[in-house]
Chains A and B, each alone.
Chain A
């Protein structure tokens, strides 16, 4: 079965420190990979995507993600966290030849001042 795993329900980090939010996937073929962020009672906002090419993808608000094909991972990173980054982050995968997105269970990021 195709799936996306976000192993951490919550990640806590101090402001100014680097952050990593983990994501692994199980999808046949070469999927497209996405990260979204959700603020309370809001929809999802697109952060970045990996389609092909360079394994390090840069996105909005200083976020980046590293694609690792051998480990089937797509971890979200940011060199220096801000309190305003505190939100719920979703990793999503779109299998080949489909327009549907499969979402992970989400990771709540809490950045402390």
Chain B
């Protein structure tokens, strides 16, 4: 159980276009989802916390107008990279906590999306 599906697994887009990444919890409801960005050979950087039915909470230094997050249902959160530039190329990973946020519960991660902006 506790499967998180992320789509697409990879995407190539042209500079200036927008890309939408979907994160779905397949067999559980996720009130809260998290979006991470991972640079090559580096750790995961938390970008934002996505809460169902409310605005996302962004970490310091993350542009909310560039990385639009929508959490419209208990099983789906989307990240849209708007007006993408080559420096946005990265590996984006979503995660979700099963049920209501629980501090001792592990997060379940999607398989990530490799974004390449040309």
Chain A residues at the B interface, C-beta cutoff of 8 Å: 32, 34, 36, 41-46, 49, 51, 90, 94, 96-101, 103-106
The interface size bin for chain B is 20 to 34
A-B contact count, CB below 8 Å?
58
The one of A44, A45, A97, A105 that contacts B103, using a Cβ cutoff of 8 Å:
A97
Residue B107, interface by CB 8 Å? yes
In angstroms, Cα B91 to Cα A100, docked, is 19
| Max chain B Cβ within 10 angstroms of own Cβ: one of A42, A98, A99, A101 | A99
Chain B: interface secondary structure? strand
In the assembled complex, the Cα of A103 lies from the Cα of B63 at a distance in Å of: 21
A99-B97, A100-B46, A103-B43 known; A41-B106 Cβ under 8 A:
no
Can you list, as one digit per residue, whether each of B85-106 has a CB less than 8 Å from chain A (1) or not (0)?
0000001010101000111101
Per-residue interface assignment for chain B, residues 8 to 19, with 1 indicating a CB less than 8 Å from any chain A CB and 0 otherwise: 010000000000
B49 is an interface residue with CB less than 8 A from chain A: yes
In the complex the two chains form, is A104's CB within 8 Å of B43's CB? yes
B107 and A96 form a contact (CB under 8 A)? no
Chain B, 26-60, CB within 8 A of any chain A CB: 32, 34, 41-44, 46, 49
Chain A residues near B6 (CB, 8 Å)? 43
Cα–Cα, bound, A97→B32 (Å): 15
The answer to whether B43 and A44 touch across the interface, beta carbons within 8 angstroms, is no
Closest CB in chain B relative to A78 CB, distance in Å: 19
**B-chain residues with CB within 8 Å of residue A98 when the two chains form the complex:** 103
A98 to B41 Cα, complex, angstroms: 27
Query: A90-B44, A94-B103 known; A44 and B93 CB under 8 Å?
Result: yes
Complex: chain A residue closest to B38, CB-CB = A38
Out of A42, A90, A96, which one reaches B43, CB within 8 Å?
Answer: A90
In the complex with contacts A32-B103, A42-B111, A51-B104, A105-B42 CB distance below 8 A: yes
What chain A residues lie within 8 Å of B102 (beta carbons)? 99
Tell me whether A96 and B103 are in contact (CB under 8 A).
Answer: yes
Residues of B within 8 A of A97 (CB): 103
User: Are A46 and B106 in touch, CB under 8 angstroms?
Assistant: yes
Interface assignment of B4: CB less than 8 Å from any CB of chain A: yes
